[in-house]
Structure 1
Amino acid sequence: MIKLGELRHDWTKEELLEIYNKPLLELIYEAATVHRSWHQPDEIQISTLLSVKTGGCPEDCSYCGQAARYHTNIKVQSLLPTDTVLQHAKKAKERGASRFCMAAAWREVRDNRDFDRIIDMVKGVNEMGLEVCCTLGMLTEDQAKRLQEAGLYAYNHNIDTSEEYYNSIISTRQFNSRMNTIQNVRKAGLSICSGGIIGLGETPEDRMGMLRTLANMEKHPDSVPINALARVKGTPLENLPKVDTWDMVRMVATARIAMPASMVRLSAGRIEMSEIEQAWCFMAGANSIFTGERETLLVTPNPGVTEDMEMLQNLGLRPMVSKKTAACSNN
């Protein structure tokens, strides 16, 4: 029998499927119960995401409009100036963000001038009192340590889907490459942000395989983004159907039950969800979102800051203040 709210690292795919397939309202109730025993139910972590280098990636991820081999409407943008990035971070903090995430469309981090500039960006954002997060592709343990020493708080590296389905989506790298980077991040003492995408043509078994990989890590990821496929014109997956809202709710609820202490982040796909649909996800245990200026986010837009703040107010929710921000405020 599954004991709700227990911190476990030995989940089976069958157990997770049993949770995922429960009658919907029962599942939401159980996930909400777990959520309330581990988290403040009226707090939502606000993270702002900025693409600091866009497009031109050599990978062939079937869902991604930033892959150089696909003909999309995404404009290639070289690494932004450090001052520009710091201005965006300052604005994000003023608008209530407690975490600032910088994304670069690289396959892997290289030890060059661009990485030196990323280090400067991390230092600058860290000095503002924000939690700094980066997603830069694969990196070595030494590179992860450099980022940590510069003040990086978290590193995002999604596993995307199950190990079994992975090669159907990406052929330019192996699933183990993802896991190796996560290990390097963990060894450097950084917080891990890792989740996946649904709507790639995978089965419920694949979805639970992905969650099982995350939930059976020695330490659960501190943050677990649940993404719905953003169908980008020009990519191989552009004609797949929109992800059903209740599938998103089921994924959020199952992730919450399997990883009770983690932040569960409602990520890509939110732009296509109504306020009511997002409210169901919050009820099911999501307690983090990406927000920001539409034009400065990644290539798949999210709702803007004003809309999100109105939604939180309508739902009786409030932006979470990170311990880091609180400490800076008290000094």
Structure 2
Amino acid sequence: MFPTHPTSAMLRTDWTLAEVTALYHQPVLQLVTQAAAVHQQHQTTGEVQVCTLLSVKTGGCPEDCAYCPQAARYHTGVSAHKLLPDAEVLAAARRAQEAGSTRFCMGAAWREIRDNRDFDRVLHMVEQVNGLGLEVCCTLGMLNEYQAERLKQAGLHAYNHNLDTSAEHYGEIITTRTYDDRLNTLEHVRKAGLSVCSGGIIGLGETDVDRVAMLHTLATLPAHPESVPVNALVPVAGTPLAEQPRVSVWEMLRMIATARILMPTTMVRLSAGRQEMPVTEQALCFLAGANSIFSGEKLLTTPNPGFDEDQQMFALLGLTARKSFKHAPEGATVLTSAAVEA
């Protein structure tokens, strides 16, 4: 007997840890079946948003995230570069849009945003990419409420700041900032009226208890994140986690399906790790409730399936691309390319 899934009137932020644990540990086919039912009720099945992530400032980060090839303290072969020229970023956004992306995310390897010329340049990039009609997302490290408001005014749609793992396991992965630092950033993002994008990475040496705890934290925030990326670790030589084994599809399915049941209206993003997943495994993830991918040859600095491969997969599985700003409030202003030229 499958447990009753939430209805539209039952979106919850009061999940108990015991409830999340019970959901997560169901037999995997039962879990996926339940998640598929929730997905069908709250989402347009067969519709997947295509996103592109560009590293606009790479390497040289002072933090010690054990998975990250951009940390300055690790020798990973990643070359550091300063902020890309605006024209290069805008050209990349246009190429992504022409290839079918409707969300464009810009990442900078900063510990936190500083109120300087580089931030002013990022704000201008946001204005320009927003002018193309794309959903613009940024991941720039920690920020304060004033900086979040400036990004919102520039036309930013969403801000990504992942929890990465559970509060209990966090200190094993990162020591240069706290879990509360991450939660505070999410609070600033929400207060500024930006869409919240926050998820995590599995394969960091955590246990199922840690995975459940991270999902519980996300599902019991004051409001569910509009976007939850589920990443599988891509081990990189030179980082402390270089020898971690590949995450299995069954582990990804448990995370995606549980996230879908807990947060029915959230975009669940099948993120890092897709390069190692055949189409059959990705299809299972879509069945379990994933409805977004990152497309393009790189995900910041790690390999990722290209646009052509993904178009072939969409054709094979009968998937359609989700439009930008699908649920924008009625009357909301969405800039057009004319705004870029003005």
Q: TM-score range by the shorter chain?
A: over 0.9
How far residue 323 of structure 1 moved from its aligned partner, in angstroms, is 3.3
Q: How does 1:232-247 map to 2 (within 5 A)?
A: 232-247=236-251
Partner SS state of residue 74, structure 2: coil
**What residue number does 1:15 align with?**
19
**What residue number does 2:303 align with?**
301
The TM-score normalised by the length of structure 2 is 0.93
How far residue 301 of structure 1 moved from its aligned partner, in angstroms, is 1.7
Query: Residues 279 and 65 from structure 1, CA distance in 2 versus in 1: closer, same or farther, beyond 3 angstroms?
Result: same
**What residue number does 2:331 align with?**
none
The aligned amino acid for 2:243 is: N
Task: Give the conservation status (yes or no) of the 8 Å contact 1:13–1:205.
Answer: no
Q: How does 1:99-248 map to 2 (within 5 A)?
A: 99-248=103-252
Task: Give the conservation status (yes or no) of the 8 Å contact 1:48–1:92.
Answer: yes
Bigger shift: residues 246-255 or 6-15: 6-15
2:325 to 311, 323, 326: 323
Task: Give the conservation status (yes or no) of the 8 Å contact 1:129–1:325.
Answer: no
CA distance in 1, matches of 2:54, 2:11: 33
**What residue number does 1:30 align with?**
34
CA distance in 2, matches of 1:51, 1:265: 18
CA distance in 2, matches of 1:3, 1:73: 50
CA distance in 2, matches of 1:233, 1:14: 37
Bigger shift: residues 257-266 or 17-26: 17-26
**What residue number does 1:57 align with?**
61
The aligned amino acid for 1:62 is: A
Task: Give the conservation status (yes or no) of the 8 Å contact 1:227–1:267.
Answer: yes
The aligned amino acid for 2:314 is: L
1:79 matches 2:83: yes
CA distance in 2, matches of 1:143, 1:156: 14
2:290 to 286, 290, 293: 286
CA distance in 2, matches of 1:304, 1:39: 25
CA-based RMSD of the aligned residues comes to 1.6
Task: Give the conservation status (yes or no) of the 8 Å contact 2:135–2:325.
Answer: no
Query: Residues 139 and 152 from structure 1, CA distance in 2 versus in 1: closer, same or farther, beyond 3 angstroms?
Result: same
Matched residue count: 328
The aligned amino acid for 1:63 is: Y
Task: Give the conservation status (yes or no) of the 8 Å contact 1:138–1:177.
Answer: yes
How far residue 324 of structure 1 moved from its aligned partner, in angstroms, is 6.3
Query: Residues 325 and 247 from structure 1, CA distance in 2 versus in 1: closer, same or farther, beyond 3 angstroms?
Result: closer
CA distance in 2, matches of 1:234, 1:328: 43
Bigger shift: residues 319-328 or 98-107: 319-328
How far residue 189 of structure 1 moved from its aligned partner, in angstroms, is 0.3
- For structure 1, the residue ranges without an aligned partner over 5 or more in a row are none
CA distance in 2, matches of 1:60, 1:328: 38
The aligned amino acid for 1:291 is: S
Runs of 4+ with deviation above 3 angstroms: 323-329
CA distance in 1, matches of 2:81, 2:22: 45
The aligned amino acid for 1:170 is: I
The aligned amino acid for 1:132 is: V
The aligned amino acid for 1:306 is: D
Partner SS state of residue 126, structure 2: helix
CA distance in 1, matches of 2:73, 2:144: 26
Aligned-residue identity in percent: 59
**What residue number does 1:312 align with?**
314
CA distance in 2, matches of 1:111, 1:12: 40
2:51 to 35, 47, 52: 47
The aligned amino acid for 1:274 is: P
1:120-149 CA deviation, whole Å, 9 max, x = no partner?
000000111111000000001000000000
**What residue number does 1:260 align with?**
264
How far residue 16 of structure 1 moved from its aligned partner, in angstroms, is 1.2
